[in-house]
Structures are given as structure tokens and as C-alpha cells.
Amino acid sequence: MPTIHWQKNQQDLAPVRGDSRVVVLPSGALQISRLQPGDTGIYRCTARNPASSRTGNEAEVRILSDPGLHRQLYFLQRPFNVVAIEGKDAVLECCVSGYPPPSFTWLRGEEVVQLRSKKYSLLGGSNLLISNVTDDDSGTYTCVVTYKNENISASAELTVLVKLGAQCMNLCTLKGTVGCEAAVGTGAGLGPSSVPPPGPSSCGPLSPVCWQPYSRCRSHVLMAPAPLAPADSAE
């Protein structure tokens, strides 16, 4: 996965402490909010990985005088579906052009997201930053952009991949040739895995056929055949 670096007038664009107007989003896009005269210049981005780098075309930003005319709202970047790992931060992007500058509200389902909290905040004035995500943060989020009686909105899904917890084991006593089954209950496409019928040397824990490092389940149950008592064997 390459990393994205931006330059302004052939100088690396370093973040300015306390200035959240200029941000590089997870998609690699550079967003500049509430333009100021000092933002004028030539911008370009470079994608780098350990083997090589590639520089994109230059783009010029010019600041024009305020025309004083209302401009209709339209999306420069709609929110798109995001998959995040539990414990990491997630960003849902939303960028809109319009004049005068509109206000941004985020909804989770039908409820308004409370911004400026430990969990939620705005990045670059419009993008939703969700800190330290958990499975409970999964769901549909909607960016609502409003100016007076005009509003536009767009939605996206956040999916959180939960790290597997400690394994748990239930032991069952089997008689005769009754088999046992191990089932991994997940929301990520893993189904039950068959365990062969027990034999003289098959006592002890058995492992599922397949596994993956992240899924939507928090734990699993592994059924293992227990040794048969002499009385049971006689049956």
C-alpha cells in the first residue's frame, strides 16, 4: 500500500499545529476548507512505496474575490463504505462545494451524532472521525449538508472487524460411534467445520478446518470428544 505525500510550490506540505483546515484524508485526497489567501499555490501529490514513487499532475489553487452570489450545494466527495479494525480510528469522508459555506451534520441511523466528544469529531470541518472503533460503531452513517432551506445528504456503511477473543471449549462425552461437530459462528462467511467420528486415538481437542485473523465473532465453541469410560465402552 503506497503512502501519499503532498507538496505546495515544490515544498513538502507539513501539517500546521492548530490548523485543521488542511488535511490529507485516508483516501489520499487533500482537502482545504475555508480558503485563505495564503492557500494560493501549485499543489501536487506523490505516491511512494519501498520500491518506487510516482508524482501526479500539478494543480493550481487561486483565490478569487468574493462574488457575493449563492452557489448551489454539490458533493465533491460522497461518503463511501469503510471497513475498519477494532481499536483503530475510522474516517467517513464528506466534502461539499457551495457558497456561503454550509453546515455539516452527521447521523448514525436516525440519530444525530454528538460531535466534539471522545468518540466523534469533525476532521477538516466536514469528515467524521470515529476514534477507537468497536463493533458497536458498525452501522449506517449519513452526512447532511445544510444552508438555510437547502440540504443534500449521502450515506455510507461502517463495518468493524472484531479481533477474536480467547478460545472457549465445551467438552462432551460420546458413546459408541457418535461424531461431534465444531461450528464457528461468524458474520464473515465461515460455516461449520466437520470433525471426524472419534476413534481410539482421537481423544482431546480438535481444531476447526479453517480460520481467519479477523471476523465479526467474538468467540467460538470447540466440541471435543472425551475418553470413554469402561462402562460406556461396554454399551
Report pLDDT digits (tens) over 108-123.
999 999 988 889 999 8
C-alpha pair distances (Å), 72 with each of 54, 69, 98, 148, 151: 36, 10, 6, 11, 10
Torsion of CA 13, 16, 21, 27, to 10 degrees: 50
Check if 1-64 and 68-162 are the same fold: yes
DSSP for residue 218: S
Instruction: Output the pLDDT for position 224.
Output: 43
Residue-level pLDDT at 53: 86
The letter for the amino acid at 154 is A
Q: What is the CA radius of gyration of the chain?
A: 27
Instruction: Kindly give the pairing relationship between strand 41-48 and strand 53-55.
Output: antiparallel
CB count within 10 Å of CB 190 equals 19
> pLDDT tens-digit profile of 112-151?
999 888 899 998 889 999 999 999 999 999 999 998 889 9
Residue with the larger pLDDT of the pair 171 and 208: 171
Alpha helices for the chain (secondary structure H): 230-234
The fold of the 68-162 domain, in CATH, is Immunoglobulin-like (2.60.40)
Q: Give the domain ranges of the chain.
A: 1-64, 68-162, 168-234
pLDDT tens-place string over residues 40-56: 999 999 998 888 888 88
Q: Which of 34-43, 66-75, 134-143, 172-181 has the highest mean pLDDT?
A: 134-143
Residue 170 is predicted with a pLDDT of: 57
Q: Does the pLDDT of residue 70 top 50, yes or no?
A: yes
Q: Which CATH class is domain 1-64?
A: mainly beta
